[in-house]
Amino acid sequence: MSFSFSPGMGPRGAIDRFGQTAAEGRLFDRAVVLQMLVFIRPYWRRMLVSIVLMLIVTGLSLLTPYLIKVAIDQYITGGDVAGLGRMAVLIGLAYLALYGATATQQYLLGWVSQRVLADLRENLFRHLQSLSLGYHDRTIIGVTVSRVINDVAAINDLLTQGLISLFGDLLVLAGIVVVMLSMSTRLALYTFAVLPLMAVLTYLFSSKAKGAFRLTRERIAAVVGFLAEHINGMRVIQAFAQETAVQDNFEDVNDANRQAYVDAMRLSFIFLPGIEFLGILSTAIVIYFGGRAVADEQVTLGIMVAFLAYVTRFFQPIQELSRIYTTMQSAMAGGEQVMRLLNTKPAVLDNPDAAEMPNVRGEIVFEEVSFRYREDSPEVLHQVNLHIEPGQTVAFVGPTGAGKTTIANLIPRFYEVTSGAVLIDGLDVRNVTQQSLHRQMGLVPQDPFLFAGTIAENIRFGRLDATDQQVREAAQLANAAGFIEALPEGYETKILEGAVNLSVGQRQLLCIARAALVQPNIFILDEATASVDTVTEVLIQEALERLMTGRTAIIIAHRLSTIRNADKICVVLDGRIAAEGRHEVLMGQSGLYQELYEKQFML
């Protein structure tokens, strides 16, 4: 079924608005992290083991330089070869334990990471399916895909590895400071003289990085959105020979993305070498002042060697923290977007006391129905009143944008009425569950949509428990069996993405078969013959006549020849039903219907 868009809706509007709603990010957004930690909760045991292993890794990292100091001062200087052998074995065991603990921790974090990633994406997709069509009208597909793929991956990196590494690195730094101060306070203070410079460098980096990494999330989503829109519209691009213009537009979007990443990476490329320089400077300080202290016998050679090892290890966590900082910036920016999506409430919700819709006869009543797509958009339906008897075939005709499709979309409650009520068999559609309401209906859209898969799978989509025989019967009822059985693989023929290996008419026949399999009591048909050839139109009309027999049918008509036998024709103009009646009656009224009919058949 096609859908009407109000101003500012649709893909281009979504791209234009993208990034305008983004607020200035924070390095650590507690609300985002707490909401995301829910996804780690099912795996808390493995995360607890990872934390314990992180503590072991931290302890061993602090222990090994101290053991080297002991080996030098007690065994090498003293000439104790046997003791040195024992210490060498102990140091080797410490490094082996460090390797084992690190490898196990990384495996557990990787295991949890993949499961959290899958859970997040499953939760997002479930939520996307629950959102009303209004959300999908306003949001470009590529931006949504970027949320599910790119932003979720950034959040996952932070949750499963970033936070653990952050705490581990901070513990290592604190431990090194304590150990160095305990061995030689004076030499430690000389070594820490570079810390003010490091603090200034970190501050400058962080102040610039916030906006830079937020911009990268926006730019990559814009690229994905552009690709999704224009690949989907490739037929139009090529038909109008606009490849060069579109390529130029893509290059602009892609260049903006590249520049955003270059700007972000430039910050890292300045910061990381700066940290390395400070590490080298600290090493030089230890060598100079430590060497003098050893010469003056104020510290031992073992302490100086241990200091050199600790200085190296001191700046390794700082460099790691800069990487975590980058991850955190990306994760916070992505997390805000994902949380905004997860916190988006469906515009159409089941009432708490909503009941299951019983099997209906098909009576449909509109009572003073008015509707607008958004609060800030103009009203597109104005106090529509309509009564459709069970089993009637009712057609809606009128100029483009008059409100025909909008009226049809309100019957299955794809959108919520602004005022008034839609009743089916006397039940307000707001008082029944949406799924039970949708099970009563079969939809045949103007633009037939098929999923990548087999023909049988597409027909079976509306009723997954249908047998092969029922699928074949639905195809026969829809006049689709002839072309299906003529295919080499029959019902197991693979449908390519976009159903490019089928004609428009064949796709439409499969959509009719899919609706027929459900055996609905209400059919909604958005001019199923608008884009097909004359032969296929006859097949579709025959199939629809069989399907509509004894059922309520709503037809959005563009070809007026297809609705001459309708029980009622409603002429829609400017959001109101301007006239209604059978074909013969309306033709005798010299109104809009007669004008539309004559334009199609008498010019």
**Confidence bin at 160 (pLDDT 50/70/90):** low
Residue 5 has pLDDT above 70, yes or no: no
In sequence order, what DSSP letters do the residues of 257-288 get, joined into one string? HHHHHHHHHHHHHHHHHHHHHHHHHHHHHIII
Tens digits of residue pLDDT in 235-245: 678 777 788 88
Tens digits of residue pLDDT in 356-407: 988 889 899 999 999 998 888 889 999 999 999 999 999 898 888 888 889 9
Q: Hey, which residues does 371 pair with through a beta bridge?
A: 381
Q: How high is the pLDDT of residue 12?
A: 40
Residue 148 has pLDDT above 60, yes or no: yes
Q: How high is the pLDDT of residue 422?
A: 94
Contact between 417 and 372 (Cβ < 8 Å)? no
Residue 423 has pLDDT above 90, yes or no: yes
| Token reading at 12 | 């281009």
Q: Hey, which residues does 443 pair with through a beta bridge?
A: 524
Contact between 139 and 14 (Cβ < 8 Å)? yes
Q: Which CATH superfamily is domain 348-434+561-603 in?
A: P-loop containing nucleotide triphosphate hydrolases (3.40.50.300)
Tens digits of residue pLDDT in 171-198: 888 888 898 898 888 888 888 888 888 8
Alpha-carbon distance of 505 to 501, in angstroms, equals 12
**Confidence bin at 531 (pLDDT 50/70/90):** low
Q: In percent, how much of the chain has pLDDT > 90?
A: 16
Topology match between the domains 28-342 and 348-434+561-603: no
Residue 226 has pLDDT above 80, yes or no: yes
Tens digits of residue pLDDT in 31-60: 777 777 788 889 889 989 988 998 999 899
b/e sequence 525-536, b meaning 16+ C-beta within 10 Å: bbbbbbbbeeeb
Q: How high is the pLDDT of residue 97?
A: 94
For the chain, what are the domain ranges? 28-342, 348-434+561-603
Phi, psi of 269 (to 5 degrees): -70, -25
Instruction: Find the mean pLDDT for residues 267-292.
Output: 83
Q: Which residues contact 31 (CB under 8 A, 6 or more apart)?
A: 339
Instruction: Find the mean pLDDT for residues 589-601.
Output: 74
3-state secondary structure 355-368: ECCCCCCCCEEEEE
pLDDT, mean over the chain = 82
Instruction: Find the mean pLDDT for residues 57-65.
Output: 89
Residue 529 has pLDDT above 70, yes or no: no
Q: Which CATH number fits domain 28-342: 3.40.50.300, 1.20.1560.10, 3.40.120.10, 1.10.3720.10?
A: 1.20.1560.10
In sequence order, what DSSP letters do the residues of 170-191 get, joined into one string? HHHHHHHHHHHHHH-HHHHHHH
Residue 602 has pLDDT above 70, yes or no: no
Amino acid at 418: T
Phi, psi of 571 (to 5 degrees): -95, 115
Q: Hey, which residues does 423 pair with through a beta bridge?
A: 365, 428
Angle between helices 195-232 and 243-285 (to 10 degrees): 160
Q: How high is the pLDDT of residue 197?
A: 85
Residue 495 has pLDDT above 60, yes or no: yes
